[in-house]
Amino acid sequence: MNENYNITLLNTESDKLPEHLRINVRSRIDHTLLDPDATSDQIINLCEEALEFGFASVCVAPCWIPLCRRKLFAGAPVRIATVIGFPHGNDSTDSKVFAARDAIMAGADEIDMVINIGWVRQRSSVLLENELRRMVSVCGRHVILKVIIECCLLSDEEKVYISKLCADAGVDYVKTSTGYSTGGAKLEDIRLIRDAVGERCSIKAAGGIRTLEDARAFAAAGCSRIGCSKSVAIAQKEIEEETRWQTEKDMAEFWDRTERITGYMEKHYERDRAVAQDVKHRREEYEKLIAARAAGKDVDEQELKSLLDFDIYQLKWDYDKSHGNPPDYTLLPYLKNVDKT
């Protein structure tokens, strides 16, 4: 039998992305700062954070649009949203239309307008339809219009009523809340709005969304946008979870690939069984340390790292050399450290 043989590189099938990571939350976030005492430095920081974490937009008061436009140059992936009739919604329709036109001229890409809640409660359909259609008209095809219906002040019937009017008028988004009233977004409201509008418009949840778990729940319920001021903490946790999953996935694939190769070696080549046993021992020790760390015990990270500090091909090459076996030159393409003497 020819002692030289080729160990085929084995690729494992990639694990499917875990369900909780299948929706990228941070790309749906409207990074929001609407505090009345916000400063230019805070707005600049807001824009920089949005670029860093890949948020959908920054949402700011109208006075800050020109500054955001300078920071978020044309072609930047982050859009500029602003608020109209905020937070009560009881400005006149003319003033809302004028303010929206002025904001668009200043560089706004998206308008979040608060509807007149009193008109909704008294079913003033003519007034509401006029306001919605005029706002849709001024926003045109290229500026997104989100209408805030302030769910916490409405009955379920009123939420359905105004949501349908928004969809009929051609609004892009129905938005749950300002975050400045008596309550914020609720999952039951998302389901109610979705049933009312179908696929005719999208939904934005806002108000009280402070954790990654909250944001994921609203995204899974069908919200294309999520408004929050805790965006950075949410994004950092999401990135941390993605990184941890990728590391765990890489480790699983590393051990699986290594184990399959060593299994082949152990089965077919008597002299390589010691190498295979060495690898199995490493994996057993590695899994013990990982289990201990998961249980909250202190683990020697250097010891953990040392168990991973090997390559199966290099291990076999070094083993053959140290035991006086003929070198297997088919391994050379896979080796980093080779003493051919």
Measure CA 280 to chain center.
Answer: 37
* Catalytic positions: 112, 175, 204
Burial of 295 (0-12, 13-18, 19+ CB in 10 A): exposed
> Which H or E run includes 167?
helix 156-169
> Which H or E run includes 4?
none
DSSP state string for 54-104:
T-SEEEE-GGGHHHHHHHS-TT-S-EEEEEESTTT--S-HHHHHHHHHHHH
HSE-CB at 152 with a 13 A cutoff on CA atoms is: 15
- CB neighbours (10 Å) of residue 284? 11
For residues 66 and 62, give the distance between their C-alpha atoms in angstroms, rounded to a whole number.
Answer: 9
DSSP state string for 170-227:
T-SEEE---SSSS----HHHHHHHHHHHTTSSEEEEESS--SHHHHHHHHHTT-SEEE
Contact call for residues 172 and 202 (beta carbons, < 8 A) = yes
